[in-house]
Structure 1
């Protein structure tokens, strides 16, 4: 059964190109070691304020609806854009076996001439099992 490492990452908007280059570089390594896919999604700025919730009718049914958007969940600051990212592994056991090898590979380590792209301490992460795929 597939297993997913998932992340919410607040990235300074002026560093999105650097993030893309970084992610492309390390995604290749993850795939070499057996990850099924690496996906990065960028939050649509037109929906970032939570006003275009896809189920607006449901919101109106909840008294004092205080639904959180992705900016709030990622604690994004002014001038940051939220990235939703995940790595799909064939299984949790393969992830547990392969991830330490990926992380030990020098190609995923920061390069000497590379500036910090985002604050790692603010990254939100979790591991997920697939519940449903249609």
Structure 2
């Protein structure tokens, strides 16, 4: 069963291009070590305040409470946006076996003179097991 490393990352808007380049370089290493898929999504600016969220009916079900959006969850600051990122692995076992090799790969280490793209201590991360994957089910998976 697939396993996912997921991240919510506050990224300065001015550094989105640098983040994209960084992520593309990291994706090569992760794929070489068995990652199935890597996805980075940037928050749609039209949904920043939750006003354009597609589930307007959910708002009324909260009895006046506001939906908590990704900017609040990621504690974004002025001039930042949110990147939602995930890496899909064939299984937790495959991920656990590959991750030490990925992290030891010199290509994932920052250069001494490289400017930080985002504050790593503010990154929100977690490992997730697939609960429902309709795309996989459509292809004959679980």
The separation in 2 between residues aligned to 1:56 and 1:49, in whole angstroms, is 13
The separation in 2 between residues aligned to 1:24 and 1:113, in whole angstroms, is 20
More deviation, 121-130/62-71: 62-71
SS at 2:75's partner residue?
Answer: coil
Map of 2:68 onto structure 1: 68
TM-superposed deviation, 1:64: 2.3
Once the two structures are superposed, residues 22-61 of structure 1 have per-residue CA deviations (whole angstroms, 9 ceiling, x without a partner) of: 0000110000000001100000001111111211112112
* Two-structure CA RMSD over aligned residues (Å): 0.8
Which runs of 4 or more aligned residues in structure 1 lie more than 2 Å from their structure 2 counterparts after TM superposition?
none
TM-superposed deviation, 1:113: 3.0
TM-score by length of 1: 0.97
Once the two structures are superposed, residues 40-99 of structure 1 have per-residue CA deviations (whole angstroms, 9 ceiling, x without a partner) of: 000000111111121111211221223100000111111001000000000000100100
Map of 1:25 onto structure 2: 25
The separation in 2 between residues aligned to 1:133 and 1:101, in whole angstroms, is 28
Map of 2:42 onto structure 1: 42
TM-superposed deviation, 1:111: 1.7
The number of residue pairs the alignment matches comes to 134
Map of 2:137 onto structure 1: none
Map of 1:82 onto structure 2: 82
TM-superposed deviation, 1:109: 0.6
Map of 2:15 onto structure 1: 15
The separation in 2 between residues aligned to 1:62 and 1:18, in whole angstroms, is 38
More deviation, 94-103/112-121: 112-121
The separation in 1 between residues aligned to 2:55 and 2:66, in whole angstroms, is 14
Map of 2:118 onto structure 1: 118
The separation in 2 between residues aligned to 1:122 and 1:12, in whole angstroms, is 12
